[in-house]
Amino acid sequence: MFLLANYYSMVHSTIRSRIQQTEGDLSNKHSPGGRLLKVRHATLARLMALLPSVQQHAEWQRWEPSFGGKFPRRAYEGIVTRLTSIRNYLSLMSFASESFSAQPQAQPGRPDPSRSAWVADLRALLDTIAPTSHGVTSTLSLVSFAVQHGAPLPPYMEMPRPYHLSRRLEELDSGLLDARHVEEPGYAAYAVMQVASSLVSDDLERLVEGVRELVGEVDFRIEGLGSEVDVGRDGTGEGRKGKRE
């Protein structure tokens, strides 16, 4: 989960650098894009090695003795499935965004105003979705810590929302989504990012539900005046209780 948080942040940084044309020469391993490419591929390789291994260990639990309680194999397999899906969607977004790096330049003396407007608005749009990216990274880091230490999740967790690129592009310029722009190099990548970001948000929400099933959730609900007050209940049903008034 922590590796996936890192990978998500790397993919988001990659998309930003490609749209803003700050990657530099990818053949130069010391360029910004070259360094980011190296760490992104290394992190993806670790994810591709670890996730099948975790899935295999969960399968082995079928034949393990159940001393002290049955291993929650179904919950773990659900978590691994969500992690795998998020990884795949992020890889798809990273691949699709390559079209931003390969945009043909306008001929000298013959600028393409529509292409310039398209890319400029995409750059402006990407600056507005940075908080969403930070929210996803924070959520993945939080559930990673909860599983590693067996700590209950905090209450009232607010899930990051999808990018909603279509609505924001409409707010910037309603003409950018016109069919005449369908041949723009970034148009297909934009469509992939729109769909994939929504799927990532859906899987992230289900991932948090699976982790909550494992570690529980801190509960500060007050049952009512004149009754017991639960001030620290976790998902196991244990916790301190206030005095009866």
Report yes or no on 194 lying in a domain. Answer: yes
> Which pLDDT value is given to residue 40?
93
Per-residue confidence at 27, pLDDT binned at 50, 70, 90?
Answer: confident
**Contact present, 140 and 8 (Cβ < 8 Å):** yes
Angle, CA of 239, 242 and 245, to the nearest 5°:
155
**Contact present, 15 and 97 (Cβ < 8 Å):** yes
Per-residue confidence at 146, pLDDT binned at 50, 70, 90?
Answer: very high
Report yes or no on 220 lying in a domain. Answer: no
Residue with tokens 């948080």: 5
Phi, psi at 2, each rounded to 5°: -70, -40
CATH, residue 147: 1.20.58
Phi, psi at 123, each rounded to 5°: -65, -45
> Which pLDDT value is given to residue 132?
59
Report yes or no on 241 lying in a domain. Answer: no
CA neighbor of 90 nearest in space, from 10, 22, 151, 26: 10
Q: Which residues of 68-77 are buried (b: 16+ CB within 10 A; e: fewer)?
A: eeebeeebbb
Report yes or no on 132 lying in a domain. Answer: yes
Report yes or no on 26 lying in a domain. Answer: yes
Report yes or no on 208 lying in a domain. Answer: yes
Which is more confidently placed, 107 or 154? 154
With 60 as the cut, is the pLDDT of residue 228 above it? no
Would you list the DSSP string of 85-122?
A: HHHHHHHHHHHHTHHHHTPPPPPTT---HHHHHHHHHH
SS3 230: strand
State pLDDT tens for residues 116-141.
566 666 666 666 665 557 888 999 99
The verdict on pTM exceeding 0.85 is: no
Report yes or no on 234 lying in a domain. Answer: no
State pLDDT tens for residues 196-223.
888 998 999 999 999 999 999 988 777 6
Total domains in the chain come to 1
Report yes or no on 196 lying in a domain. Answer: yes
Lowest-confidence segment of 36-50, 155-169, 196-210, 217-231 by average pLDDT: 217-231
**Contact present, 155 and 127 (Cβ < 8 Å):** no
- State which residues form the domain around 49: 2-60+70-101+115-215
Per-residue confidence at 183, pLDDT binned at 50, 70, 90?
Answer: low
